[in-house]
Amino acid sequence: MSCNCEQSRYLELHQSAVVADMHCDGVLKIKKGLDYSIRNSDDHMDIPRLKEGGTDLQVFACWVATDTPPEECRPKIDELIDSLESMVRQNPDDIAICLTADQADSIIGQGQIAAFLGIENGVAIAEDLGNLEHYYDRGIRYMTLTHTASSDWCISSADTAPAFNGLTDFGRAVVWKMNELGMIIDVSHASVAAVEQVLKYSKAPVIASHSCVHALCPHDRNLSDHQIKAIAAKGGVIGINYFNGYISSRWNHVLDSLYETRRAEIDSLDEYFYGNDSLRRAALKPIWDDIKAKLDTIEVTVGDVVDHIDYIVKLVGADYVGLGSDWDGVFVMPIGLDDCTMVPNITKELVARGYTEEDIRKILGGNFMRVFREVCGSA
């Protein structure tokens, strides 16, 4: 009987809370033709599954590769925004785009999903602040400054030989322009120096939309205690990424070891099929299937995800952590978070660990909504 009561408690809490996911790559699937109106068996998300999992606000990140020629960046991002807008128009009863937190509240109150538009990778602006204004006018409300390779103005966390220290003068101008526009600055993927400078120069709270805790999993994508404290001191929020490689140190170590054993084969196939992605993926599939099969023996669970939430709460409090799934942006998720229908398992785990209802509501979405409202306004 007690088990049923506990289950009822966490489900009721999850359903009544505002659940905001700070990062996904679903728009790339939409652009390729995925029908979001029906329940799909592949990938991580669609409208029926988002509703089943209780997601109220979903950030859709429009991604562009760092090596994209500058003249192609704006057309590529516009095409992704067009694809997302088309999907929303086709599903008017289920989803709508929000430009402010008040709009998000209204959309959610009508039983719809609030779609928040973001950009992942600052190369999208092609070193032109006018493009930043253009994207804002199109509805973009956050931008991740960099990605897995450095740009000409922001150093990536993956860069082991940075050409400059964090941000250039133009990078600082981007920070100030985003403050002026009312666009949230996202430091996921940014180097230690870049994060430090963003926090120094930004007048508004910043987010790390899909990052984890370096002390629990020492990956360059994860945040040190010092960075977590600094983001919290600025009033920001960190969205915990669900990817096994950022959650579990052991899993990540095994992946690195397996990759190294197959590196020569992978590099050879990458080179041989350069320029033909479909053939390259087909040739690499047996290798990655073998690697994934071996990785399946390393158990990573929703509890490991909540360990990262726990760590931040114990370090700086419950006001500075949220959810940043990375749905459809990574290739494996923990047991109990196979797709977006399983987000209630996070709430279940938080309840089991004795979190208060107030703190759970903050973690699930309240903290992000606070930053959304403060940075982007309420009009």
Per-residue pLDDT of the chain (379 residues; tens, 9 = 90+): 334 556 678 999 999 999 999 999 999 999 999 999 999 988 999 999 999 999 999 999 999 999 999 999 999 999 999 999 999 999 999 999 999 999 999 999 999 999 999 999 999 999 999 999 999 999 999 999 999 999 999 999 999 999 999 999 999 999 999 999 999 999 999 999 999 999 999 999 999 999 999 999 999 999 999 999 999 999 999 999 999 999 999 999 999 999 999 999 999 998 998 888 789 889 999 999 999 889 988 999 999 999 999 999 999 999 999 999 999 999 899 999 999 999 999 999 999 999 999 999 999 999 999 999 999 987 6
pTM of the model: 0.94
Q: How far apart, in Å, are the Cα atoms of 140 and each of 137, 146, 259? A: 7, 16, 36
Fold of 2-244+301-376: TIM Barrel (3.20.20)
Please state, in angstroms and rounded to a whole number, the distance separating the CA atoms of residues 142 and 138: 12
Structure tokens at 376: 């982007």
Please state, in angstroms and rounded to a whole number, the distance separating the CA atoms of residues 122 and 156: 11
- How many C-alpha atoms does 371 have within 13 Å on its Cβ side? 34
Radius of gyration of the chain (CA): 20
Sketch the domain layout of the chain as residue ranges.
2-244+301-376, 249-299
